[in-house]
Chains A and B, each alone.
Chain A
Amino acid sequence: MSRISVDTVKHVANLARLAITEQEAEKFSKQLDAILTFAEQLEELDTQNVKPTSHVLDIKNVMREDVAEKGLPVEEVLKNAPDHDENQIRVPAILE
C-alpha cells in the first residue's frame, strides 16, 4: 500500500500552504512515497531506551539580561514589504 496517497499529498500541501495541481500531487505522491519507504529502514533499529538528540551542543536556554535594545527602524522594515500603508503591512481582507 502506498504510504502517501494523492489525497494525503493534497492534505499535507494544504497544511504547508502550497497550492498544487492534480498532476503535481501525483508526482509528489510517488516521490514522497519512495523517500518514506527508504526512511522506514530506521524501523530496523531498536531505539526504545535511546534519548532523542535535537542538537549536539551542551547548551540549554541561553538567557540574556532583560534590557531593552533598539529594534530595526519601521521604515527600513517596511522597505521589503510587498504592500504597506503608512506603518502597516497590507494584506487581503480577513474579515468580511
Chain B
Amino acid sequence: MMRTGLWKWLAIPALLFAVTAHAEVFEKTLHNGLRVVVKEDHRAPVVVQEVWYHVGSMDEWTGKTGVAHALEHMMFKGTRSVPAGEFSKRIAAAGGRENAFTSYDYTAYFQQLHKSRLPLAMKLESDRMQNLLVSDQEFAKEIKVVMEERRWRTDDEPHSLLSEQLMATLFEQHPYHHPVIGWMSDLQQLSADDVRAWYRRWYRPNNAVLVVAGDVNAKEVFALAQRYYGGIPQRPVPPTQNFSEPPQLGIKRIVVKAPAELPYLIMAYHAPTLRDPAHDWQPYALEVLAGILDGNDSARLNKALVREQQLASSVGAGYDPLARGPSIFTLEGTPSEGKTVADLEAGLRAQIGKLAKDGVSEDELKRVKAQVTASEVYKRDSVFYQAMQIGQLESIGLSYRDIPLMLQKLQEVTAQQVQQVAREFFKDDNLTVAVLDPQPLSGKPRHMMQEGGSNVR
C-alpha cells in the first residue's frame, strides 16, 4: 500500500513529513532577482546544489504538452562553451551525481558533490541558465528518448495509465488534466523551436530559486552565487495564468483496460491545497486523516480491509496539500482474489462513513503526531532531502520559513477537525472513481467486468 498514492507526477512529499529543523537556513536575493537559500549541515563533507525554475507542465498550452519536460532533457545538450554531453562528463569527473526533474508545478536541476566542487557546479548551472543551445539535430534524437520514457513509464504500466486517465477525467479545465510527460501525439509534433521558445520565455534568474545544502558556509555560498549567477540579466517573467477547476457536478467513473492480472481501484476526491499556512486548517486535518487511514500497517485501511476482512491485497490513502494547483485525496487498492473492485469500493466507503460518523480516537491522533515528530528527526539524515523540501516549498508559493508553523499546526489538529473534513470532502459529487480492468496478454477478453459500484452502496 502506498500511503501517498501513486501520484508519481504529483511529485510532492506529503505534508506529514514536510518538516525540518532549519535554524541553519540563510537566504539572500541577488540583484537580478535570483533567490538563494542555503541550508548548512556539517555532518558530512558534501554539498547539493539545486536550481528550481518556477515553471512546470501546468504552464503549457494545448498541443504543446510535454514541452517543459522536453526542455529539461535538452538542458544537458550543450551551451556555447560547454558542448553536448560535457555537462555530465565534468560533473562525473568531479565525483558528482546529477539529474533533473519536471513536475506539474516546477522544473529542477541538481548536482551532489564533495563540498570543494561547488564552484564547478555553479559555473555549469549558471552557464545553462542563459546560454543553452538547442540544436535541431540533438532535439531530434532526444525527443525519441522522451517517447521511450513515456512508453516505459506510462504506456506499458497499467497503474500509471490509469492514473493518467484519472487526472484527465478529474480535472476538466485545470491543466493538471494533462500528463507532465505530455501526450504522445504532442510529443510527435513537438519541435526544437517549441523548446527554444519555452527556454526563452521562462528560464531567467528572477524566475528561479537556488538552493544549496550541506557542509558549506552561507556567506561563502552567497559570494559564489553572486560571482556565477550575479551577472545574468534579469528579464520580465510573463504572468502565469490562474487556472481553477469548477465544482464537480456529480460522480465520475472511468474504466481503463490494459494487460494485467489484477484489477485496481482509485477513488479520488477534490481536496483543498495549503495556501495560508497560518490560517488554513483543513489541509492539516486531512493530512492527519490520511495518517489515521494509512500511516502504519495497523492503521485503519490495512487493518480492516487487508488484515481482517481480506477484501484487498493492498490498500492506501494519499493526500498532498502542497501544490500550485488543486489537490486531491485518494483511496486506492487491489481487491483480493475472488473480490471485485465494487466490493473494495464498498469497503473503502464503509471506512470513510465510519470516520464521518464516529470520528477518530485520541490514540490514533497521538500516533500520527508521534510519527510526524520522529520523521522530523529522521529527515535530517539526508542533506539531499532537506534541500528538496526547501526548493519545493519555495516553488509553489510557500516558504521554508513556514515549516515550523506547519509542524505546529499539524500537532494542533483535533479529533473533531478530522471528523469535520471527512464529512465535508468525502462526498459523491466530489468523487472520481477509476478502475483498471485487467486484460489477458493474448489480447482476448478474459471476462466481463462488473462496471461501476453504485449498486453496492
Chains A and B bind each other: no
- A interface residues, Cβ below 8 angstroms from B: none
- B interface residues, Cβ below 8 angstroms from A: none
